[in-house]
Structure 1
Amino acid sequence: MLVYRVFPYLDAAAPGEPGHPLYEHHPQRGGRIDHPEYYVWYLARHPEGACGESFGNIGRWSDPMFEFPAMPGARRAIGTYEVPDDLRICDLDDPRQLDRLGLRPTQVVTRNLGVTSAWGHRIWAETSPPVDGKLWQAVQWWSFHKPTWTILASWERPEFIGLEILTLEHPAIRAAAKALYRPL
């Protein structure tokens, strides 16, 4: 299955370095289910979802939002990745999973890191002896910005397929801006 991610891209970055499409930033801070002991790949099922998640808090979208000052020369890009079709995903849009986990929808979508990292760690720690010891390889939920966008957090590294540098004319930016009523 193809998935998408917005990240700061630096053309000269080697694998493993900041700015590379497969760079893993340790420790992460501030993502919905971040935890210092494991890395999470935040991905979206649709390109506009990745853009909307990345820029949704900005009221007016303009070219400077694609710059990444913490990394001189970097510009935000959208990466296309692939995860296996049989990836074991805990779907929090399934009421049975919410019930099983004792979660309310508001606990999933809240922007309270203490709440979301707790349920994220609980899902990550669920075990299943017949399959590598872990029951889940990923968890998915709906976007805070637009519930029809599915967000995926994978504990498995996706395969990098390709990237496109983002501009205001990029189709995914235009679609996300339209969906979120953001002026360009």
Structure 2
Amino acid sequence: QGGFFQTASDGEALILRNREVYDGAIPSGNSVMLWNLARLGRLVGKPEYEDRVESMSKLFSLAVQRTPQAHTQFLIGLDFYLGPTRELVISGAEQGEPTQAMLRALAPEFLPRLVTLVRPPGDAAILSLAPYAKALVAPAGKTLAYLCENHACKEPVATVQALLDALGIPQDR
């Protein structure tokens, strides 16, 4: 159990269906999927995604231990999975200037253990994917940012500078 094949199960009949994990100039599909599943599991709070990460890490552990330098993207995903990680929920109009200002401020930052969810008011699709975000609301016409760890959130902040401070990003760079 674990891992993804490089070919479709309903495709051409092959002698062997490959599950590659080594990373070259382009990361392997399994390395990218491990990282995606780890991030998605944290973002939406679904343990089944993280269970899949666990099974993949067990399946490929011997190969990664033997040649870690050939599995760099896999190790990035594993580092994220092992954490600690944080979730950032920006509650406000998706195209509103305060929301966009927060996203622009985060764009140049290297925050490898942070996942970000924009929660527009009344967006049922987002709330069905990430039910923990239901209570993370902003007053009408406002934007608030909630910084959470394991979906336990601190008091929200309302400005870009307060968000950068909460994330520990220095002001004078």
Q: TM-score, normalised by structure 2?
A: 0.27
Q: Which has the higher helix share?
A: 2
* Structure-1-length-normalised TM-score: 0.26
Q: Which has the higher strand share?
A: 1
Who wins on radius of gyration, i.e. which is larger?
Answer: 2
Greater relative contact order structure (CA < 8 Å, 6+ sep): 1
